[in-house]
Amino acid sequence: MSKMTKALVALIFFATQAIVVAPSNALPTLTTKQTNNVKALFAAFATSDPDKIAAASVKYTKAGSAARNFAEMVKNNHATIRYFKSINVFGMPSGLSVTPEVRGKSTLKGKSVTLNSVNDAFDGKYSDFTFDSKGKISNFKVATTAGKSALKVSDRIFPVKQSVTTGSVLVTGGFIYKQPDSKLFVQLQVKNNSSSLKSWSYANGRYASAENKYYDAPISPVGCLYPAQTAFMQSTVSATPIVVAGTGAAFEAPTFEGCGAGSSNSSSVFRFITG
């Protein structure tokens, strides 16, 4: 065997060994750090624990990015559910221990991560991750669990901007998210701007989209707010409203003066800017 042949054999041998020892669950074309960051972020999403998701959001996503917005939306959802579980019908702390939400599941395989969340709005297959210079996630594509309708999360999620500063209940932030299954997830940060208790119910919410059309929008969970208190009002619209960045939208909410028995109807119309 010539020296050149021996060298070629040795090169092939070492290359083969390098392939063998590579992590089998690493995302192709990503560094080990990037793969670990993706894995850790989605593992946090699957815990349904808002504290763990908040920590992962800061640690693994780039501030101000679409990935950070998505992580914050997921955190807000679980924090809202935990908060409303902790109060009674009149908005007072119940003093009872809160049963944690059921955990979801995240699976890293090949070029993507599949998330099965307790909130169906976040279910999907995530791929094509991009990162900043520090290895923090800045963007990714979201498709259905079956891999259909893939689209960058930056084209799916729209931060809500406050456009109205007077009224008894105000929208001060939140997100509008176009799910890969064509539904719309609405998460509005609402503030009780009055001097009395405010609450809302499940039925009769309506989302007014950019094409001036109303869509039924049931609200869950329901809640009660003290004066000056802020929380998130959430709804999943089963239809496919048009969402355009920088345009106005509105949400008709079945709000009430007071909480629990004896409260009176005082329906609100929230106006805001998407994106």
Residue 29 has pLDDT above 50, yes or no: yes
Range 229-247 average pLDDT: 95
The Cα 202–Cα 84 span in angstroms is 14
The Cα 241–Cα 251 span in angstroms is 12
204 phi and psi, to 5 degrees? 75, 15
Residue 175 CB neighbours (<10 A): 25
The Cα 252–Cα 243 span in angstroms is 17
pLDDT one-digit tens code per residue, 185-197: 999 999 999 999 9
| pLDDT the model gives residue 1 | 53
| pLDDT the model gives residue 12 | 42
| pLDDT the model gives residue 49 | 98
Distances (CA, A) of 150 to 117, 121, 140, 181: 18, 15, 10, 10
Residue 50 has pLDDT above 70, yes or no: yes
Per domain, the residue ranges of the chain are 23-154, 157-274
The Cα 268–Cα 22 span in angstroms is 57
| pLDDT the model gives residue 90 | 79
Beta bridge partners of 175: 159, 187
Contact yes or no for 94/87 (Cβ under 8 A): yes
Instruction: Characterize 100-112 residue by residue with b for buried, 16 or more Cβ atoms within 10 angstroms of its Cβ, and e for exposed.
Output: ebeebebebeeeb
Confirm whether pTM is higher than 0.85: yes
| pLDDT the model gives residue 88 | 87
The Cα 42–Cα 57 span in angstroms is 10
| 60 or 204, higher pLDDT | 60
Q: CATH fold of 157-274, please?
A: Immunoglobulin-like (2.60.40)
Q: How confident is the model at residue 8 (pLDDT cuts 50, 70, 90)?
A: very low
| 236 or 2, higher pLDDT | 236
Is the Cα torsion angle 83, 84, 86, 89 positive or negative in sign?
A: positive
Residues 6 or more apart whose Cβ sits within 8 Å of residue 255? 169, 198, 199, 200, 266, 267, 268
Torsion, Cα 188 144 26 73, to 10 degrees, reads 0
Residue 17 has pLDDT above 80, yes or no: no
